[in-house]
Structure 1
Amino acid sequence: MDTVTLGVTTHPTGDWITQQARNPLLQLGDRAHPFRFLNRDRDAKLPQAFDTVFAGNGTQVLKATPQAPKMNAFAERWTRTARAECTDRMLIFGERHLRTVLDQYATHYNTTRAHRSLDLHTPGDDPTAIPFPAGRIRRRKILGGLLNEYHRAS
């Protein structure tokens, strides 16, 4: 799974947001083609240029229906999960620290965290594999022990 770094700012502008849309597409290069849809809200900070960036990649931009907050549920759910499991339990010392924490958490979330929608499997699990009884288990601390990942010891 690719890791894409996004920017953080306290005062986003339309130009800044448009550049943030370009960054992941540039970082992913040819691997960005599988993205068919982008769901977004109708925030006034998102200019037409934002949509144009994704349209140039062949991605269809779907705007949320006005006054339908449940349409943005996936993004809101990730934000709520990241806050509840990570940032609400830490003292963030600045932008650089926030970037580091969110990058590590996003990697954990997208690779080794169990998801209910996947029947408590991780995104990297092979759904056809039958797990053998585990011998020794090794714990790996993430974010100083705030999160833990467990793997079979080799």
Structure 2
Amino acid sequence: MVPRERRRQAFAVTPTTLLARHRRLIARKWTFTRHRRPGRPSTASAVKQLILRLARENSTRGHRRIQGELARLDYPIAPSWEILHAAGIAPAPQRSGPTWRQFLTAEAHGITAADFLHLDTVSLGRLYALVLIEHRTRHVHLPGVTTHPSAAGTVQQTRNLAMPQECRMDSLRSLLRDRGSNYTRSFDAAFETEDVEIQLSPPRAPRAKAICERVVGTLRREVLDRVLIYNEAHAQAVLTDYIRHYNGHRPRQSRAQLPSASNEPPTAATVTDLQAHRIRRRPVLSGLVNEYLRAT
């Protein structure tokens, strides 16, 4: 049997325990559930999705910047980052930087690449054409064609380009070129006077100028491999005519099938009968290349 003293200790209740039990009884009785008003409503799911979208598309925006953007869109919310935290999105300074696509697209707005294109004549002579392309619009320039791409000739071709293209030179930020001997200090100075920075591609790295290399390949496949060049004037005329087509008509996959000289998409045509809806062909280089237009 358990001694009497131990049984008394087992059933002994201290004043602290008694008061605690009494407080719990009072809390259960006076809950005021009938008179309790509902709290602040939760944020709508559509607004939460919009907050997450703004956070993912703008890595530098925090919860207060997103709150201001939502207020401008007539979605006022409280300045809280609990929604971002629940979705696993860190505050703005701790998020990852821009993707490669975003970085290269932003950098392309002020870059122009330069390269020399060599072509052979009927008499087995060799000509050199300086080709420049703007990365943002894919607009191609042909400063000139020469038989001897000396430093002085290259500088003169560059000046010929800069004179009629002053509006484009203002938006140009850097020129990407290789390390060939044709590009001298005088060539760089012609662009540096316009506050254009010269960027050198790595040695033996054609991928560093992939856009310019693709343009050179296009000129070879569509023109130079299909026509015989007689002399320097003939090469200048042929390339000028094709580059006019290239800039004004040829679609670009990187620009949503828009040509370099256009920023507005063409109006959609509802065609049910191609016999009644005439398509006009406009030959370029005597039909070597064709352009197709809707007849008015």
2:176 corresponding residue in structure 1: 39
Mark the structure with the bigger radius of gyration. 2
CA distance in 2, matches of 1:66, 1:92: 31
Q: How many residues align?
A: 153
SS, match of residue 33 in structure 1: helix
Aligned mate of 1:72, from 209, 212, 225: 209
The list of structure 1 runs, each at least 4 consecutive aligned residues, that deviate by more than 3 angstroms after superposition, is 1-5
Q: Deviations over 1:71-127 (max 9, x none)?
A: 122221111101101111011222111111100111111110122222333332513
1:126 corresponding residue in structure 2: 264
Counterpart of 2:264, as a letter, is D
SS, match of residue 6 in structure 1: strand
Aligned-pair RMSD on alpha carbons?
A: 2.2
1:50 corresponds to 2:187? yes
Counterpart of 1:93, as a letter, is Y
Aligned mate of 1:89, from 226, 229, 245: 226
Gaps of 5+ in 1: none
2:50 corresponding residue in structure 1: none
Identical aligned pairs, as a percentage? 37
1:10 to partner: Cα distance = 2.0
CA distance in 1, matches of 2:246, 2:157: 21
Which deviates more, 131-140 or 36-45? 131-140
CA distance in 2, matches of 1:110, 1:63: 26
SS, match of residue 7 in structure 1: strand
TM-score (norm: length of structure 2): 0.48
CA distance in 1, matches of 2:233, 2:204: 35
TM-score (norm: length of structure 1): 0.88
CA distance in 1, matches of 2:249, 2:167: 25
Gaps of 5+ in 2: 1-136, 272-276
